[in-house]
């Protein structure tokens, strides 16, 4: 069984870097990262970003989100060069696996000047 989720998040408009709070129609409350169930994988099929100014969104992955200070590594980066929007569809998805059940993903942002920007990820958990 698989479930396709659209994760949404945005910058806060006041800081030039940070971690996106992730939300979805399935989420009762937002989270700063999404833990992948053991034995499953997160397939990222599409990304949409939009914003009022230049923004770099980075998809990060950790092998252990339960660590006191998880080590996050960069998986993909998408840059909005200026005000506008960008849609990226994947014929072959990025696959992020959960080997132990402690793996997780998150999205961070950096901007030269703080502004509102938005990100959507189409993720299939399978």
Partner 1 sequence: MVEVTDSLGLVLEGEVLTVYIPGLTAALPFLVKARANKGVETIPYGALPLVSGETLPTYDGGSATVPAAGVIPARAYTDSAKTFPLTGAYDATDMWYYPADYNERLFHVIQEVTPAFLKCDIQIPKGVKPYRFQRDKVILGIGTEPFGFSRGRTEVVHLPEIRYGYRWGNETNVPLYTSVKFTYAEYIVETVKDAETIFNILTRRLPSYWITLPVFTREETVVNALIKAYGITGFPIYPPYKKTQAIAEYNNLIRQVKV
Interface residues with partner 1 (CB under 8 A) are 1-3, 5, 25-29, 31, 33-38, 40, 65, 101, 104, 125
Picking from 71, 62, 74, the residue whose alpha carbon sits closest to that of residue 101 is: 62
Shortest spacing between CB 107 and partner 1, in angstroms: 15
Shortest spacing between CB 29 and partner 1, in angstroms: 6
Which residue lies nearer to partner 1 by CB, 25 or 91?
25
Which residue lies nearer to partner 1 by CB, 66 or 87?
66
Containing H/E element for 44? strand 41-51
Rounded Cα gap, residues 25 and 38, in angstroms: 22
Which residue lies nearer to partner 1 by CB, 35 or 116?
35
Picking from 123, 122, 111, the residue whose alpha carbon sits closest to that of residue 12 is: 111
């Amino acid at each position: 069984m698989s479930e396709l989720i659209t994760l949404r998040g945005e910058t806060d408009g006041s800081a030039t870097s940070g971690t996106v709070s992730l939300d979805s129609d399935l989420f009762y409350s937002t989270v700063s990262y999404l833990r992948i169930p053991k034995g499953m994988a997160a397939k990222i099929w599409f990304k949409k970003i939009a914003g009022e100014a230049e923004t770099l969104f980075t998809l990060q992955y950790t092998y252990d989100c339960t660590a006191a200070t998880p080590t996050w590594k960069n998986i993909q980066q998408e840059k909005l060069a200026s005000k506008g929007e960008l849609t990226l569809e994947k014929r072959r998805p990025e696959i992020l696996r959960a080997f132990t059940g402690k793996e997780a993903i998150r999205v961070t942002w950096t901007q030269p000047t703080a502004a509102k920007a938005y990100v959507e990820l189409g993720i299939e958990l399978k």
